[in-house]
Each structure stands twice: as structure tokens, then as C-alpha cells.
A and B are shown apart, each in its own frame.
Chain A
Amino acid sequence: MRVTIRVAVNGEERVAEVEPRDLLVHTLRDELGLTGTHVGCDTSSCGACTVHLDGEAVKSCTVLSVQADGHEVTTIEGLAGENGELHRLQQGFWEKHGLQCGFCTPGMIMAAADLLERNPNPTEEEIRHGLEGNLCRCTGYHNIVKAVQHAAAVKAPEEVTA
């Protein structure tokens, strides 16, 4: 049995035919061609698949595609500005060498974006606890923390205009 779902992905209305058992991460990757969202485990432990569902970070391996029907999804591909200007977290990860192999990076950035949304000026400890659902094997997290701090020091566009 296949089900039709309509999801606003990165601001664009997308339609997909999915099986009821399909996970959102697989629909994003296999049906919608958005391969920036990664799969690193089978147990919702690693966070490589983190995306935003209606503005909140979720592990897209724990969301059924049908649950996203009628909702908004933002993936790493939708984070940069309209003219391709990097999101402050993308800039932070680049500036502070917050990535090595890059595989955890999209999920890490999406989780960090949610963290800064909820807590614009986190302490180091708050950053570390805020990202403990996302595993990185390369960086030892040191420069990821620096990257988030770098991004936090740059005001979000909406804060600048306000």
C-alpha cells in the first residue's frame, strides 16, 4: 500500500508516494533527493538525520513519513539564505573547523540551530548538553562547541531587524 503525502520541504511544496512504514529520512533521501540528511544508526542514537519539523529539531529516523503529511520540514539544504549566504552556524562550523569527515555535520548544525532558537546565549555546558543527542567521532566536539559559540555571537537576522 502506498500513501500520498504533501510536505513543505525547505519552503517548497513536495508530493511523495510512500509506504506507511517509510521513515521521513528515507523519503527525504530516496524520494526527494535531499541526501544532506544522513543515517548513522538504527536506534535514534547518532542524530545524523536531524531535521526541523515545523521549526523544531527531530530525528527524521524516528518520524514516519506519513506523520510529516501537511507539515513543514527544513533540511540542511534549506538552511542557507535565498542567495546562498551561509547560515551563521554553517559559517561557524567552517570558521572554527567544526567538522572533519562531515557526515554528522548536517544533523549537528540542525540540532544546534534548534538549540540557539531556544537559547540564544548558551553556556558551554548548555551547548554540550544541547548536542548530546548528536554523535561525532572526528572532532571530539571541541570545535563544534566553538562553532556554536561563534554562531551565537553573531545575531540571528530576525534579532538584527528587531
Chain B
Amino acid sequence: MSAVGSAIKRKEDPRMITGRGNYTDDMVLPGMLHAVFVRSDEAHAKITVDASEARRRPGILAVFTGEDLGDVAAPMPMAWVPPGIEVKTPERWPIARGEVNHVGDPVALVVGRSRGEVADGAGAVVVEYDPLPVVTDPEAALEDGSPLVHEALGTNRSHEWSLGGGDIDAGLAAADVVVERRIVNQRISGAPIEPRSAIADFRADELTLWSSTQVPHFVRLFMAIVLGTSEDKVRVVAPDVGGGFGAKLQFCAEEVAVSWASRKLGRPVKWTETRAEHMAACHHGRDQVAYVRMGATKDGKLTALHVKIIADFGAYFGMLTPTIPELGAFVMTGVYDIPAVKTDIIGAFTNKCMTDAIRGAGRPEATHLIEVCIDQLAAELEIDRLELRRRNFIAADSFPHEVAYGVIYDSGNYQGTLDRMLEHFDYGAFTEEQARLRERGIYRGVGFSTYTEICGLAPSRVTGPEGFGLQTGLWESAVVRVHPTGAVTVFTGTSGHGQGHDTVFAQIAADRLGVSPDVVEVVHGDTGTGPMGLGTYGSRSMAVGGESIAKAAERVAEKAKQIVAHQLEAAPEDIEVAEGTFRVRGTDKGMALAEISGIAHVRPELLPEGMEPALEEHAFYDPENFVFPFGAHACEVEVDVETGRVTVTKYLAVDDCGNPLNPMLIDGQVHGGITQGIGQALYEQIRYDDAGQLITGTLVDYALPTAAEVPSFVTDRTVTPSPVNSLGVKGIGEAGTIASSAAVVNAVIDALRPLGVSYIDMPCTPLRVWTAIQEAQR
């Protein structure tokens, strides 16, 4: 029986359910020191740091300021150089030098013997702030005369970038109705439950860094550059990582500072952030203001979509900050056949923490505005929301489909997922009950989101220096090693942090080698083992990483077939992998992988003439295209119009991520993704006041959904394989988040339309909903 396609229980679970996981903060090294950062209390100021008292305190070995780190070889890197476009990039150092630009900016690093002593020491560092004017609103930041976040840049405007195709003016002119909306996609936190943590051990001129990261290979590359050493002197290990959601897709200033301190002090140094630090200083996501114009004829045919996005990047750039809204532009046409689509992006600096990738990264923002505006348009045209969608779906027989601005969608069947969703949801019955309940003052609504997204990041020829402009390839790597006894180790360049890679990658290799997934170990997250890889983000681990493993395993299988053919005097093409053996087709003669590997390792003289010993192959894979998962989601809500409180009463998701490799893991990714989208739609918001003070600095102020805020979900799938890879798979890690916020908000608007509410921004908190009702009734 094939392992791929089975809901196999996870191999990683036994250690985690018994408390024997190994997260970075769990580790203790001999002689290890502890470190904490002193962080800015001010949003914008010149600073003077006096650490003399702190340095005298018991247990404190050193206090380092930005000036102390003056010998780092390069500022913190940003990886995007789009051809022909200037991106103004502020200089950022691991610790601030003379000026802070947001609350939480690192000001000093205190290193000492114990957790308590460094906390006390940090309290003794005196920072004098000479305040500078503050700007926190991205649109205000772009106006003439605004305070400048970075005087040296002379502007708060980082860059402008556009992607479009077709004639927008003609499309809007041909429209009978043009919906215009200003849509705010608020700033959120990734908030993995494990805060960031790093242990640096610099000895004999070589650095080992354990870090809670999604991208150990990127961290090694950039660490070598910033510390002025070479990559062979740096090893980065991501042990068990307690969630990422993009928050750990970063090369962190803190990682550099502790590594530098370990080199300076000759001892291992550990830093684990507090939750307050995470909220203030780990990059945020979203924070875009979009001006949308969506045009259609009176019979509901979309004619044009123009979107101007003002993206609030905060004070600095992380590794990918200015590229995030652009990712949304790649799917701005959504699932619709629109003849003219254009996205214009303007980046703005403000005195807030930097933004970067958070689960979905640009695509949730795009999907939200498209799907909310489709509903707005349906209301204007008085056409049913699903009917309007159907009239504009890209037809299932037109794939691969080139959209107006040149991106090619690999495969899709949008009508199919919508039809399947409606098998689980009786729209007519809902509408009737909704009307009955309204008479009793109970306000229910349903919202839909029919989405696609772009993932499987890769392909390098599109994303790389001559294309989009990322200064890296985005291929992936794998090594499949069969040990002499027939056990298998798979090394992958991806770096899982909850996705279940240990299990599903084992399934992929097992099928190709005729063994059980139980004997396949997966190793990831360590630059000291296996080849270079690019990490886990952008829903790429299966479509790029998984395909690499399939390729490497196929190569092993090919070699094994040659060995078997040679032993059994058959032709290699007559050997098949079936029922756990490599056997001669149509016979009962065959050999198990353990026997084959035994010969390859122990009796190489029995191998075919010229064949190298052992049984190990590697593969590097760079796909031809992205992959485009899609689906249809429906959300039911009930709104208490007296309090404004929104309750999600039902949520249905039909997704299509191509061939399902482990359905249990897919459902898990969808559940978590939906909940993150519900969180943004209803609860989550990073807020600053006008002085740049962070209002939502703890999990008391920043509301993550709990078990009591979400329902159980109904999930189903259709299967439309991707033609891009041999597995036929697409990513699923971000899809739930990308789809769900629009479904929730559309449901809230649907519930409140009888009260005159026709639009609302996220998060739909009780106060905002109540206020919207009051204003509509006025």
C-alpha cells in the first residue's frame, strides 16, 4: 500500500507529547552566559547610553552598545534589488547607533551569569533620550513636511513598484458600476507560542548558533557576511521550533548580537525573548492601506481592477520587508478573468517596528480586498454574490492560464470547489432562516471567499536577480541515504516547525524505496548536515522540498534497480518496486532494500561494472513555475447588535492543494490557517498611539483567538493536480489564512446590511461593530 495519500500519525509526536522536545531555550551549554536586550522606550530619539553602573553589578560580565559592535562587517541585510527600481534602504545595525526609530529598538545587550542578574543589570542601564518628532501613520508619513524617520534618506517613501496588464482606463470606462473602497489591512503579530531564542557558541574561530528559525541556511549565509567570516566557519541549527508563521523567517539582529558577544567573551551566550519583546521587536505583518477600484458591466462582467497600496514598513527593512505587498500583486486578479488589472505599491517608513512576512505575506491582503470588493460589487449590481463569482471565474478548461499581468496559473477548477462547498452548505435554507431570525432581532450572516494564491516559492528564474529581484535562488535540496541495514535518512534543506515534515517526507521516500515510513528518518534544520537549502516559508516545503526528496529517492531507486537486475540477471527496466521489494516484473523474484543496500555497502565487488559503492543520492530542484492552490470557504456569524460582539457559528472550507500526501496534515494546516484569519478578522491588531507607544505589547492587550472563540471546522477537498511537479502537489500552509479573513468580514457585513452597514474594516471588534451600527442608524 502506498504511504503517500495516507493519514499516517506523526513521527515527531511521541517526544513532544511526553515533554521531550528540544527547543532552543531547553538547551544549556557548559559555561553558558545569559543575555537580555535593553530596548528603546521611545519611538524616535537620539540616545546616550550610560552602562557604567550596570557593568559594576554582580554577575554582569559585559554591556554592549551599538558603538561597541562597531566592528561588524556589514549592516543588517535586505535581499531585494528589483531591476530598474531604487529601493531606499535605511541602514540598520544589530544594536542602535545613536538613534532609535521605534519602541523596542535594541539599545544595549547585557550579558551575565544568570537570568535574574542580567534582568537586574538591564534595569541599571541608563538611556538618555533626546526626542525627535514621530510619525506613525503611513499616509501622513508620505505627505510633504512629515517628520522623517530617517533624516539621511530625505524621505519616508521607500519605493514605488507596479505590476499590471490590460488597459485599466478603458476597463473602468467600459464599466457600468465601479466600486471604490479604501481598505485597511491592519498590522498583526505572527505570535508563535514559542518566543524567539538563540544560543551562540563561538569557539576556535567557529560559530555554532542554535536558533528558533525557519531559515537556518539564510542565517548562516548572512551571519558570515555580517560577522566578516566565511560560511564554513558558521553552523546554524534549528532544533524543535515552536511555530513560525513568518515571524521566524528572518535574519535577526538579536542573532547577530549574541553571536558577536560570544566571540567577544569566548563563552556561549543565550538569549530568549520575552513575549513583550516579541510584540515590540519581532517583525509584524500586513499594515497596508489599499485604494481599490473594481469595475463591472451591469450584467456582472468584471472589466478592470486597480489597486493602489500604501504599505507601512515601519522603521526598517528586514530580510524581505519591501517585497511583501508585491507578493499580493502576483495574485491580484484572484480567481477571476479580468481583462485589466494593475497594482501600484508605495512603501512608507514610520516610527514603528518593521513589517515583513507573516503567514500569507501579501496574499491575505490581496485576497481580502478582492473578495470583500466582489461582495460590495454584488450588492451594487443586485446580483447574488456567488452568481457574480461564477460569471467571472477563470474557466476550468483554460489552464495553464495567463492572467492579465502575465503570471501563469498552473491549474484550477474554481467552479468545482465552490460546488463542493455548497454540498456542505444549504445557501437557500440559510437565507430563509436568516430572514426569519432578523424578525426576532437576531442578526446572522454568511460570507464567502473563493480564492487562489501563489506559493511554492521558487522558481528562481522568476524570483531571482534578473526577474523579481531577490538576491538568491529559491531552489531546494535533498539527500536520500540508505544505510547498510536498509534504514533510510532523508536530509532536506527545508526547515519544518510544526508542519509534520518528519512524517510526510518519510512517506514520499518510503514509497519510492519499497520500505515503511517507520524506517525513514528525516533530518532538517541543520546547516552542518546535508546540502544547502533555502528553508520553510511561502508554502514551499512540499512543492519544492518534497519534490527534491522525490527526485533523490527516484535516483536511489534507479541505482537499486540496476543492482537487483545485475544480481538476478534481469533487465533494469523490468524491475519494479512492489509490496516492499524491488522485484522482477511478473515473477516472485526480488530483493528487499536492506539486501540491496547490504551489497552496495559490504560487497561492492558484486555491483555492476563501474558502479560506485554505497546507496545515496542527492537532488537539487528548481521548479518551472509557482503553484496555485485554491478553494471556496464559507463562514457563518451571529452578531449581537446590542454589544457588537461577533460569534463565528460555522466555518466550511473546501481547498484544493493538488494530490493530498497526508490528508490529516492538510486538515491541520487548514484549521490553523483559518483560525489565524479569524483572529485577524475579529480580534488581532497591533496598535500604536500617536506618540509611537505600543498599546498592544502583551497577550493581554493583543487578543489571540482561544478555543472558545472558534467553532469546529468542516473541511473537504477537491483534487486538481499541479502540472508543475511530479508529486502534483501545491502548498497548503498559508491557504487557510489567505482565504478566511474575507469570508468572516463578508459574513459580518451580510449580517448587518439590514441595519444599513455596508462595509467594515478589520478587526471587527465589538466596539468597531457597535460603532458601525450606530453610525449607520444615525
A-side interface residues toward B, CB under 8 Å?
Answer: 19, 21-22, 26, 29-30, 34-43, 45-46, 48, 75-77, 79-80, 86, 90, 93-95, 97, 99-106, 109, 124, 127-129, 131-145
Interface membership of chain B positions 483-511, coded 1 if the CB is closer than 8 angstroms to chain A and 0 otherwise:
00000000000000111100000000000
In contact, B274 and A99 (Cβ under 8 angstroms): no
Q: Which residues of B contact A101 (CB under 8 A)?
A: 192-194, 240-244, 497-498
Q: Which residues of A contact B10 (CB under 8 A)?
A: 94, 97
Give the total of B residues in contact with A, Cβ under 8 Å.
56
In the assembled complex, which residues on chain B have CB atoms less than 8 Å from the CB atom of A140?
Answer: 671-676, 710, 713, 736
B20 at the interface (CB under 8 A from A): yes
Please give me the residue from chain B that is nearest to A90 by CB atom.
Answer: B17
Establish whether residues B708 and A132, one from each chain, have CB atoms under 8 Å apart when the complex forms: yes
Q: Distance (Å) between the CB of B729 and the closest chain A CB?
A: 19
- B707 interface residue (CB < 8 Å to A): yes
Best-buried of B10, B12, B19 by chain A (most CB within 10 Å): B19
B13 at the interface (CB under 8 A from A): yes
Assess whether A137 is in contact with B192, with CB atoms less than 8 Å apart: yes
Q: Can you list 5 A-B pairs, Cβ within 8 angstroms, ordered by A?
A: A101-B192, A101-B243, A127-B707, A140-B736, A142-B712
Q: Which residues of chain B have C-beta atoms less than 8 A from A39's C-beta?
A: 25, 195, 272
**How many Å from the CB of A117 to the closest CB on chain B?**
18
Residue pair B115, A30 in contact (C-beta under 8 Å): yes
Whether A97 contacts B664 in the complex (CB less than 8 A), given A43-B698, A102-B240, A109-B17, comes out as yes
A11 to chain B, nearest CB (A): 15
Report yes or no: B707 in contact with A141, Cβ–Cβ below 8 A. Answer: yes
Contact of B708 with A128 in the complex, beta carbons under 8 Å: yes
Q: Are B698 and A40 in contact (CB under 8 A)?
A: no
Of residues A42, A43, A133, A139, which shows the largest number of chain B Cβ atoms within 10 Å of its Cβ?
A42
Is residue B665 contacting chain A, with contact meaning CB distance below 8 A?
Answer: yes
Q: A39-B195, A131-B706 given. 5 additional CB < 8 A pairs?
A: A77-B20, A97-B665, A102-B17, A132-B708, A140-B671
| Alpha-carbon separation in the docked complex, A71 to B18 (Å) | 22
Chain A proximity of B762: nearest CB distance (Å) = 18
How many A-B pairs have beta carbons closer than 8 Å: the answer is 180
Cβ of B19 and Cβ of A75 under 8 Å apart? Answer: yes
The answer to whether A102 touches B242 (Cβ under 8 A) is yes
CB–CB A100/B672 < 8 A: yes
For residue A94, which residue of chain B has the nearest CB?
B13
User: How distant is A78 from chain B, measured CB to nearest CB, in Å?
Assistant: 9
Question: Which A residues are in CB contact (< 8 Å) with B700?
Answer: 43, 45
Q: Which 5 A-B pairs have the closest CB atoms?
A: A36-B19, A103-B242, A102-B16, A101-B498, A140-B675
Report A21 CB to chain B, min CB distance, Å.
7
Check A100–B19 contact: CB distance below 8 A: no
Residues of chain B within 8 A of A99, CB atoms compared = 13, 16-17
Query: Considering the chains assembled together, what is the distance between the CA atoms of A80 and B192 in angstroms?
Result: 27
Q: Are B699 and A36 in contact (CB under 8 A)?
A: no
- How many Å from the CB of A65 to the closest CB on chain B? 12
Is the CB–CB distance between A132 and B19 below 8 Å?
Answer: no
State in angstroms the CA–CA spacing of A26 and B10 once bound together: 30
Check if B9 is an interface residue, CB within 8 A of chain A. Answer: yes
Residues of B within 8 A of A124 (CB): 712
Q: How far is the CA of A133 from the CA of B707 in the complex (A)?
A: 9
- On chain A, the residues within 8 Å of B416 by CB distance are none
Residue of B nearest to A108 (CB): B707
Which of A22, A129, A141 has the most chain B CB atoms inside 10 A of its CB?
Answer: A141
Contacts of A86 in B (CB 8 A): 17-18
Q: A21-B116, A145-B707 are in contact. Are A135 and B274 (CB under 8 A)?
A: no
- Give the Cβ gap from A48 to chain B, nearest Cβ, in Å: 6
Chain A residues within 8 Å of B21, by CB: 36, 102-103
Q: Is B301 on the interface with A (CB-CB < 8 A)?
A: no
Smallest Cβ-Cβ distance to B679: which chain A residue: A137
Assess A135 versus B672: contact at CB under 8 Å? Given A38-B194, A48-B193, A101-B497: no
When the two chains form their complex, are residues B698 and A132 in contact, meaning their CB atoms are under 8 A apart?
no
- Which of B19, B240, B665, B712 is close to A76, meaning CB atoms less than 8 Å apart? B19
Residues of chain B from 700 to 721 with CB closer than 8 A to chain A in the complex: 700, 704, 706-708, 710, 712-713
Q: Mark B1-37, 1 if CB is under 8 A from A, else 0.
A: 0000000011011101111110101100000000000
- Decide: B707 and A128 in contact? CB cutoff 8 A: yes
A133 to B709 alpha-carbon distance, docked (Å): 12
Q: Is B275 an interface residue (CB 8 A)?
A: yes
A37 nearest CB neighbor, chain B only: B19
Give the docked Cα–Cα distance between A147 and B274 (Å).
30
